[in-house]
Structure 1
Amino acid sequence: MARMGGRCQCKEKSTDAFVRYKNLEPALCLELKKIVEAMKSPGKGILAVDESPATLDKKFQEMDITSTESIRRDYRQMLLSTDKTRLNKCISSVILHHETVYQKTSDDVEFIEFVRQKNLIPGVKVDKGLVNLFGTDNETTTQGLDELQERCIQYKKDGCHFTKWRCTFSISDSQPSYLAMLTNANVLARYASISQSARLVPIIEPEILNQGEHGINRSRQVHEEMLSILFRTLNEHRVYLEGIILKPSMVLAGLDHARYCKPQIIAESTVSALQRTVPAAVPMIAFLSGGQTDEETTLNLNAINQYEAVKPWTLTFCFGRALQVCCIEFFELT
């Protein structure tokens, strides 16, 4: 503190938002913010076509289609060949699987370039799937942190601008355990910081499954506890919050009680849980569909956006199945 001219003046500390992110350069933070701004264009959401080959194999087997790399390529190419004007009206960006990133279309165009030609921002799923979490009752964590930085650097060079990582939680009287929530929060935070260091915006997906007999109040309690732990951990890892996208579940009752929950109740529970846990610095929340039908996800997302409350984030969607049902049925007929 210095005294000048009879007045007490304090040395001003910088209020620059970048000060606390000593692991990130200001230019990098600005780049992350610009990517998020482009992804959260008004009225648009994110299309997730990042299913693993094994997941698509199961879908195709149900339709008596032999799954091959070229068949998976053709399906995703068809999905993204929607009329450009209509596609751009609703979709800002696309999450791809590693396989798709390095494929070419039937016209010999690199898939990343094909996505860019549609005026869409390409991204990639970087986690390597769920594994059992020892010390818990069949709870899971997600693998893939080994060599993640090297992979992210390469994805950025190859044209991707964001990444996605998913952890899951089940609800019961005793789950999710504190160990599962804390472990997965640290995994998500490590992933996010690594992704940002490679100039890629991390989509953080802590999916709370709606399988079970729990009511919506129990679901909201779990969402609030899990998100509180997650954001405390993200701050401890110095993750730049203005440069992330949160991809949570809507607050839903278990499947046995879902029919009793109207969209307005889901909206109130979801928004209140977010208000209590998600900082206003987070620019965008893109909900996953979480096993709901395309109609249910549309009605519930609309109710969330119509719900009158303070909502400092852009609220939109990051759907996979809810946007693909009609397309996969059409693909079966072709």
Structure 2
Amino acid sequence: MTEQGYPWPAGAATGVGSLPGTDPGEALRVVFGELPDLPYLPELPDRGPGAELLGRTAGLLAELPVELYAARWRIAARPGRDLRRTRDLLERDLDQLVEVAEGYTGTLKVAVGGPYTLAAGLELPSGGAVLRDAGALRDLTASLAEGVAGHVADVAARVPGARVLLQLDEPSLPAVLAGRVRTESGFGSYRPVAEPDAVETLRTVLAAAGVPALVHCCAADVPVGVVRAAGAAAVAVDTALLPSDAAGLDVWGEALDAGLGLFAGAVPATASRGADAAAADEVRRFWHRLGLPAGRLPEQMVLTQACGLVGAGPEQARAALRYARDAARRIADEPDVR
């Protein structure tokens, strides 16, 4: 923790998840070069199945093997080549992390898919998403919790000076809570998950990690109350999707006033010159609308991109990371400029 009580340095910026390209060493050098205060282990989906969020996380599951079937991930009867490839890709990433992060002693962020995004995207052997079966969802949650704990411990052992911060990616969470996840046929939807059940499921995974964690959701209607109740230290969002109505602002104001951190995705993937100033201004305006003390903003907030950068070109992605860093430093220098 910092002096302010948050597990990241004041005035920090970081990345959300994915980057373009197929070279993990080069991606990590870019990340550590552009985001020295809060680097992260990026995903490189351009390498194919097993390198994207769903496959990468499925490869962490304990005693729950997965396989590709008709270009979709599903629970398998036994480990096979798809699972081996997924784990091999992550192993290469971690080997490169050891090399690039040698001597690093700050906070290091790692990301995995959350239980509901995994349950909505991972299929049962008999067909249909894991989300349809309450028992299967419980098994998946327990398996993910064990796998995430092992992953965090592995990263901490490989970079012994670092303080690991976990990011739980849950883009499907709002749809799961609202009953908007479509069935395999496309003609129906899975029943909604009750908020207390969602809190307990998220808490199971977050607690198992044993390190500070945030929940990232780049969708509208982020359930900030659920995230807060589950024990997350912060919520990461696309700031363009933050509410502007009084009721929505009240919910966010209450959560942030109580100390929940904000990873503000204010830099678009297609950012151009001046994006740092625009992002800083956007975050300051939102903070001011909530009526929160300006002095708390640099320590409670981290600047990020709106979402992953896999669709951007290499130079564009690097620029987006740099704009986030520069925006965070603007806010640290002048948190109350309007």
- TM interval, shorter chain, is 0.3 to 0.5
TM-score, normalisation: structure 1: 0.46
TM-score, normalisation: structure 2: 0.45
Bigger Rg, structure 1 or 2: 1
Greater relative contact order, per chain length (Cα 8 Å cut-off, separation 6+): 2
Structure with greater strand share of residues: 1
